[in-house]
Amino acid sequence: MTDVHPDHDGTDVRGDQRRRGTTRQMVRAFLSSPTGILSGLVLAALAVLVVMGPNGFGSAAVVSDLGRASEGPSEDFVAGTDALGRDILTRTLAATRTSILYATLAVLIAMVAGALIGGLLAAAGPRVRRIGGGVIDTMMGFGDILLAVVVIAIVGVGSQGAILAIAVAFTPNFARFTYSLVDSVMVRDYMAAAKVIGVGRSGISRRYVGRNVADSMAIVTFTAIAEGIMAMSALSFLGLGVQSPTFDWGQMLTDGVRNFYLNPYAALVPAALILVTGLAVGLFGDALARAVNPVLWSERPSLFAGRLGGRRPLVGKDVMGPGAAVETEGNRP
């Protein structure tokens, strides 16, 4: 979160200067993280699979061959076949689009809803804040999966029900996080200065509050997608999520467990891809968080970062945790 301060005429010139001065350093910090680079490469490969989708693999992911059902690994089928004779590896790769897009959509809905709720609570009176905070804490006490199951019991099973259920389950977390961020920004001195010089509520919300919480919200959203993928797969594994003929990793995992002793790869391959995707998204989000936090910047430049030129990142003074204002030589007021 980069502090945006109002100038004498209500502009955020100082904030723009700070963002321009630290963007290069944040890129250097990200590229100095091996896990960030590795996770970025994994996500790039997953993005290709998402773009391809099931149609990119032709009929290999959906055509059944009962004569070759539950076979082990072979030259024709690297990971064997499932109970209906379908290629497990091809089918798992083809399910990438459904698994990732559904989880991402659910998390984005939760982020938007949670940001609105958290922002409104932060701007509301003490009584509304107290009541709203109690409701959010109560919903968070249920746990994501349990709350999602309750929602599915109301709206029904299927892809749409699973997306809505995960969105509802994740919304309290985003609302609580947004409330904390906005509340911390509202007490800053430059917020009082903005009000004194006559900046309206819409200008304050857009120019100062929005810009100061946007980067932190983006990072949290990115890391929440990893949890969303796990949650979507868990619901499908329980038979509450994606239904045939659509398939995702969770549904494939269920089918593989039923025939685990005939061909364990039918369960291990989708489970491995769920794990790898969750780790890649989580590590990428962690690398982004480290890149925007000057306290965690590495003093040692990497091979890739050296090509960007410039000086090594300097840890700024008076840094107030992740996403706080960055003050470096050359852009310190």
In the structure, what pLDDT confidence band is assigned to residue 56 with cuts at 50, 70 and 90?
confident
Query: Structure tokens of 193?
Result: 């200065």
Q: Is residue 174 part of a domain?
A: yes
In the structure, what pLDDT confidence band is assigned to residue 329 with cuts at 50, 70 and 90?
very low
Do 232 and 102 meet the contact criterion of CB atoms below 8 Å apart? yes
Amino acid at 282: G
Give the residue among 269, 135, 283 at the shortest CA–CA distance from 219: 283
The single residue listed with the structure tokens 């797969």 is 233
Whether pTM > 0.85 for this model: the answer is no
Neighbours of 332 (CB within 10 A): 12
Mean pLDDT of the chain: 77
Q: Is residue 58 part of a domain?
A: no
| Among 88-97, 105-114, 188-197, the least confident range | 188-197
Give the residue among 331, 123, 124, 107 at the shortest CA–CA distance from 209: 123
The 3-state DSSP class for residue 81 equals strand
Residue 177, domain CATH: 1.10.3720.10
The 3-state DSSP class for residue 208 equals helix
Rounded CA separation 201/22 (Å)? 28
Domain total in the chain: 1
For residue 308, pLDDT beyond 50: no
Q: State which residues form the domain around 228.
A: 83-284
Tens of pLDDT, residues 266-305: 899 999 999 999 999 988 988 887 777 665 554 444 433 4
For residue 219, pLDDT beyond 80: yes
Q: Is residue 42 part of a domain?
A: no
For residue 251, pLDDT beyond 50: yes
Q: Is residue 95 part of a domain?
A: yes
Do 239 and 157 meet the contact criterion of CB atoms below 8 Å apart? yes
Give the sign of the dihedral formed by CA 153, CA 154, CA 159, CA 162: negative
Q: Is residue 88 part of a domain?
A: yes
Amino acid at 11: T
Rounded CA separation 203/194 (Å)? 9
Rounded CA separation 226/303 (Å)? 28
Q: What is the CA radius of gyration of the chain?
A: 24
What's the DSSP call for residue 315?
A: P
Q: Is residue 67 part of a domain?
A: no
pLDDT of residue 322: 37
| Among 85-99, 133-147, 183-197, 247-261, the least confident range | 183-197
Q: Is residue 66 part of a domain?
A: no
